[in-house]
Structure 1
Amino acid sequence: MLLPALSGVFGDAADAIRVGDQRASREDLLSAATALADRIAGSPAVAVWATAGMETVVAVVAGLLAGVPVVPVPPDSGPSERDYVLRDCAASLLLVPPTSAGTAPLAEVAVPVATVDVTARSSTSYPEPADGTALILYTSGTTGAPKGALIPRRAIAADLDALADAWAWTPEDLLVHGLPLFHVHGLLLGVLGALRVGSRLAHTGRPKPDAYAAAAGTLYFGVPTVWSRVCADPAAARALSSARLLVSGSAPLPLPVFERLAELTGQPPVERYGMTETLITVSGRADGERRPGFVGTPVAGVQTRLVADDGTPVAPDGESPGDLQVRGPMMFSGYLNRAAANQEAFTADGWFRTGDIATIDADGWHRIIGRASIDMIKSGGYRIGAGEVENALLAHPAVREAAVIGAPHPDLGQQVVAYVVADATTEAQLIEFVAGRISAHKRPRQVHLVEQLPRNAMGKVQKKLLAGG
């Protein structure tokens, strides 16, 4: 069973599931989702306007009960992006909260719109569906329109079980997060994880430090932006000291944030690595070491390897970077209607090409350098990881944020260029500072001081929006 917590085996409570100010027992969630499943059963796919509300949870669970693929649509989607996704996945309905129906963002939608009633009830009994596509998650690449990654039920089950093992996640936990409900982190881990493990869930609506502090959880999920804001509120951070595990993912956690979070809460966070297509494949463990700058070791059932540009193996010496490839039971089953992309995504012997550059040491610890297309800078014959330069910049006391890219250069091929949010410092001072901490050839040739960096909903810096990126 994909969601055993809905079977009653873990007991129940009136507020087992909290999303903002909305509360539901697991029994009420099951009954409301069943009522919606009665309406959508037999559909080829349904889309969900994935706001941070109980309606999204009910809609996703309804699809899982009925065996109907669910397509989460970000509520900040523009009309062209929204309609592209709806057409591409051939959704029969767009499920929305009652408060969203008829509003401007949903004007002239390409498919019928239906509201989700969280108070509806049904006692229909649905047998566990056969394995098939549970979610279609759209992910943007470096070029072209977003692709719909087909996530099978078996992949979700395998990944959540592996993470429950790595994080010692049990029904006794109270999971707290405020992440968007249209990505792997917030929806699959942060909602379906609780419904598979049997833990209670408190979604804070938005990931604000005071809301995290007030939730009194045992297990917290956040992205680096969230943890940075928590650290900026020392009282809120100290309130998390009673939690047993803090997990960071979706983007690299800057070293200063790692260190400050450990200082304020009394424990270093656990970092993990994954992608929409692979779910979470590498993580630190609750009972293991926490290394700043590293994302851990492969979770149960996962294998990883590094390869060079020419396809030869890269030694796991902790220093040599290579293209990271993975395989395991939590892989997606392909991109919707993208035969060429599917062929390109996998090697001839069945490994998924992540497109990320990493190092692996002799103990299996992984350090993600960045995207091969963006974060591996080839300058003057050197291969320079953007993340290493970013961490060097972030070590400067005046620097709050940093993003590094490779920009075209007539002599070097590419030059290292940094975009920095900082107080009371200069370009020359930052270049000199970095050159004193890492190899001189890795220093930025240019530093642009900016007011903010462009980020997406998960807090990832959108480097393609930076000049030259």
Structure 2
Amino acid sequence: MFSLFPALAGGSVADRSALRFGDRSLTYAELAASAGALAARLDGAGRVAVWATPTLETAVGVVAALLAGVPAVPLNPKSGAAELGHILGDSTPSLVLAAPGDLLPTALGALERIDVEATTKTAAGAGAHAGEETEAGTEVVVTVEAAVRDPGAPALVVYTSGTTGPPKGAVIPRRAVAATLDALADAWQWTGDDVLVHGLPLFHVHGLIIGILGPLRRGGSVRHLGRFSAEGVARELNAGATMLFGVPTMYHRLAEALDGDPGLAEALGRARLLVSGSAALPLHDHERITAATGRGVVERYGMTETLMNTSVRADGEVRPGTVGVPLPGVGLRLVEEDGTTIAGYEADGTPTGAYDGESVGEIQVRGPNLFTEYLNRPDATAAAYTADGWFRTGDMAVLDPDGSVRIVGRKATDLIKSGGYKIGAGEIENALLEHPGVREAAAAGEPDADLGERVVAWIVPVDPQAPPSADELADHVASRLAPHKRPRRVRFLDELPRNDMGKILKRALPRD
């Protein structure tokens, strides 16, 4: 039988803490009982929506759906009415799972609602194991996954960010969840002894699949902060947590807090692994964290449609600006606009082509980590794949001489064609962030009659009253990269527009 959560079948980890949110927690036996009881109610329900607040109930609801073999559709509680209506109309869930007392928007009012009970005791007593007899003589039955679980069966429908149109529902099969989590276990030396702490939202791949389902597949523990804070991170790492997952915004806040908090530096130094994802971590934050803690931040690269593609390995060198090498089983290649392959990796890790650190191409991937389809969008699904079966990520990268993948931006918004050169916006942003007067930076191309496109930068200065000049910033980039990569225009802002995951919304940057 194909099982996502073998630890829920009982055994030696039944009394181990599986999930903790604030002061509420569930052991594996308690999670199996709570999720198992709910799974029995979901049998045959079709797709189910999950009101994905950062709570124990969300985790139990998703696990229950997976145990029942019912695809879960995580809903962002911050979604606007139009976006939420689109997702509900597209995914047509039969019911919604929510924590008792949650006030749901009107759009969900027509759906049957099931309140998720995250019971911290099994039906016959906390800590009981599957098959044990209680004092009352009643057997504690821990529901495990139904035997029908085809690895290709849908596990979740996760909606994309919708930056280029209405969000699309990526159908994530069970094999993709298992393949990604097992590949990360290899890359990160992740075991059941690890205790993960994070404060990420639970409606996307990073927070839910990697951050909640990952520890549960390993038989380990996760402590969710509810709301991210440096104090919460330090508390959990000092209390035995071994891994921290976050996005660049979170690590930036940690880096800012380190200057006046030696206790935080000591706590971060205790972590076995610090992992950042969802966007590039700026170089100066890398440097500040490493200098203060002696611990480098590992970066990885993934998407909703592909889960995780690459990562720096736990036993590898942390090199700021790179996202490591492909995970086991993942094939990756860089492709020119005309379809010519520059270089890449076979699924078994065999390198192909020359890694020159300069040639920019689109990342294309294939492997068991990929989604099945965009729900109700056969046209979009077909367009996402090449004729020979590779998924077009839309991300542009180079392969450094050591084989590491270095992402330089999105094909649609971050590939700048200026004066005959192909320039990745990401490398310009990293260079700008090395300037001591720059707090945040974004770069993109704008039409130019002479160059085709000119490089433009948006800057949030460290001191708004005395920002660095545009010429100073242009010279700074030219000295670190090349003269043709310098910004021809610089705009100063109080802040950069970002989404919930901290990614810069370049289409929302002011232009004139």
Give the shorter-chain TM-score range: over 0.9
Residue 297 (1) aligns with residue 315 (2): no
Q: CA contact under 8 A between 2:455 and 2:488: conserved in structure 1? A: yes
Give the whole-Å Cα distance in 1 for the aligned partners of 2:434 and 2:101. Answer: 45
Deviations, residues 293-337 of structure 1 (Å, cap 9, x unaligned): 110011111111111110112143221111111111111111111
Shift of 1:84: 1.1
Q: Secondary structure at the match of 1:180?
A: coil
Q: CA contact under 8 A between 1:96 and 1:115: conserved in structure 2? A: yes
Shift of 1:362: 4.4
Runs of 4+ in structure 1 deviating by more than 4 angstroms, as ranges, are: none
- The 5-angstrom pairing of residues 2-151 of structure 1 reads 2-13=4-15, 15-101=17-103, 105-106=105-106, 109-119=109-119, 123=141, 125-126=143-144, 127-131=146-150, 132-151=153-172
1:425 paired residue among 462, 467, 482: 467
Q: Quick one: which amino acid aligns to residue 506 of structure 2?
A: K
The residue that corresponds to 1:450 in the other structure is 493
Residue 219 (1) aligns with residue 240 (2): no
The residue that corresponds to 2:346 in the other structure is none
Q: TM-score, normalization: structure 1?
A: 0.95
Q: Secondary structure at the match of 2:36?
A: helix
Give the whole-Å Cα distance in 1 for the aligned partners of 2:164 and 2:316. Answer: 39
Residue 200 (1) aligns with residue 230 (2): no
Give the whole-Å Cα distance in 2 for the aligned partners of 1:151 and 1:108. Answer: 23
- The 5-angstrom pairing of residues 131-280 of structure 1 reads 131=150, 132-216=153-237, 217-234=241-258, 235=261, 236-280=264-308
Shift of 1:374: 0.7
Q: CA contact under 8 A between 1:10 and 1:171: conserved in structure 2? A: no
Change in CA separation of 1:200 and 1:332 when aligned onto 2, cut-off 3 Å: same
Q: Quick one: which amino acid aligns to residue 114 of structure 1?
A: I
Equivalences, count = 467
Higher mean C-alpha deviation, range 219-228 or range 7-16: 7-16
Shift of 1:22: 2.0
Higher mean C-alpha deviation, range 63-72 or range 204-213: 204-213
Q: TM-score, normalization: structure 2?
A: 0.88
Shift of 1:110: 4.7
Shift of 1:108: 5.8
Higher mean C-alpha deviation, range 107-116 or range 187-196: 107-116
Give the whole-Å Cα distance in 1 for the aligned partners of 2:427 and 2:169. Answer: 32
Q: Secondary structure at the match of 1:289?
A: coil
Larger radius of gyration: 2
The residue that corresponds to 2:131 in the other structure is none
Give the whole-Å Cα distance in 2 for the aligned partners of 1:459 and 1:157. Answer: 27
Change in CA separation of 1:109 and 1:461 when aligned onto 2, cut-off 3 Å: farther
Give the whole-Å Cα distance in 1 for the aligned partners of 2:6 and 2:409. Answer: 36
Q: CA contact under 8 A between 1:46 and 1:92: conserved in structure 2? A: yes
Q: Quick one: which amino acid aligns to residue 476 of structure 2?
A: F
1:328 paired residue among 345, 356, 367: 367
Root-mean-square deviation over aligned CA pairs:
1.8
Q: CA contact under 8 A between 1:427 and 1:448: conserved in structure 2? A: no
Deviations, residues 70-111 of structure 1 (Å, cap 9, x unaligned): 000111011111121111111011212123135xx4566453
Shift of 1:129: 3.9
Give the whole-Å Cα distance in 1 for the aligned partners of 2:227 and 2:496. Answer: 20
Q: CA contact under 8 A between 1:5 and 1:196: conserved in structure 2? A: yes
Higher mean C-alpha deviation, range 217-226 or range 434-443: 434-443
Q: CA contact under 8 A between 1:65 and 1:128: conserved in structure 2? A: no
Deviations, residues 206-253 of structure 1 (Å, cap 9, x unaligned): 221111110021111111111111111112233111111111111011
Q: Quick one: which amino acid aligns to residue 394 of structure 2?
A: G
The residue that corresponds to 1:389 in the other structure is 428
The residue that corresponds to 1:415 in the other structure is 454
2:339 paired residue among 293, 311, 320: 311
Mark the runs of 5 or more structure 2 residues left unpaired by the alignment: 124-140, 343-353
Deviations, residues 325-379 of structure 1 (Å, cap 9, x unaligned): 1111111111111111111111111111111111113442110111100111112
Q: Percent identity?
A: 54
